[in-house]
Amino acid sequence: MPDRRPHVLAAIAVALPAVLLVLVRLVPALAAEPAERGGALVLAAAAFLQLALASGALAATDVQEHRLPNALVGATALGGGLALAGAAALAGRPERMLGALVGGATLFALHLALALARPGGMGLGDVKLAGALGMHLGWLGPSVVLAGALAAFLLGGGIAIAVLLARGRDRPAAIPFGPALVVGAWVAIGLA
């Protein structure tokens, strides 16, 4: 049986800063907007806390197993979507939910096009995760969606270059993109 301790530590290393970011930066920023207080704030915080916890598990699983489980990605998208829809409804801000839907659809479509353009280059788990992350980013605004996508591709590209330099071009390796997607999204959320 493989030693899973490094992957548990990796999950904590991703999830803990994300949880702290939600509690220290995002919740106070949302609380500063009068419409987003009360139930809307609780639901928005729940959506992002759920994403934070799932982020660690998703990144660690992708590193270890080179897959993103449909159940976890689906739960992240569904739970987050429902909580964000409730927050937008309670705040009387339907444009927030529209932004979430557009952000999710945009990142899903972009990553699907990339996956179809080069089969084997990007998995469909990455495509689905991009949609779930895009929904959360879109709820914060279109510039956050763009920042998250750019950060993910820059980080993923940097990782790919480092792996190629370390292994050599003669020994190609599959590089999981899920961690770059997750960290890129949290970088964008932190800058929002």
Q: Which domain range does residue 63 map to?
A: 5-191
- Structural domains counted in the chain: 1
Phi, psi of 131 (to 5 degrees): -65, -45
Q: What percent of the chain has pLDDT above 70?
A: 92
pTM of the model as a whole: 0.89
Compute the distance between CA of residue 156 and CA of residue 23 in angstroms, rounded to an integer: 27
Q: Which residue has the higher pLDDT, 129 or 165?
A: 129
Compute the distance between CA of residue 50 and CA of residue 75 in angstroms, rounded to an integer: 9
Q: Which of 4, 91, 49, 55 is nearest to 179 (CA)?
A: 55
Amino acid in the structure at residue 30: L
Compute the distance between CA of residue 52 and CA of residue 71 in angstroms, rounded to an integer: 16
- The torsion of the CA quartet 94, 100, 101, 107, rounded to 10 degrees, works out to 160
Task: With cut-offs at 50, 70 and 90, classify the pLDDT of residue 79.
Answer: very high
